[in-house]
Amino acid sequence: MLKKECDKNIVQTIKLAREMIELAQIGYEQQEDPGCGILYGILLDSGYKLLDLAQKEKHAHVQKGWWDKTVHKEKI
């Protein structure tokens, strides 16, 4: 279990980014006009950028020894 609130927020951010990516992929497949394509393209790009930043921050916390090692082994 994570002890630091900042680590819990990183976990939530990773989950949110993955949800954004999933929604963008579904939305893009179901789009009916170019505006939807733009919307879901931006959502997808933002989701990947956010996921990358959150994973880098998680790695930084792991390197500092802040991250609970049992959580580090789990796939988030």
Sketch the domain layout of the chain as residue ranges: 8-68
| pLDDT attached to residue 1 | 61
Query: What is the pTM assigned to this prediction?
Result: 0.82
Give me the pLDDT at residue 29, please. Answer: 94
Q: What is the pLDDT of residue 4?
A: 80
Cα atoms in the 13 Å half-sphere on the side-chain side of 49: 6
pLDDT digits (tens, 9 = 90+) for 24-76: 999 999 999 999 999 999 999 999 999 999 999 999 999 988 887 655 454 54
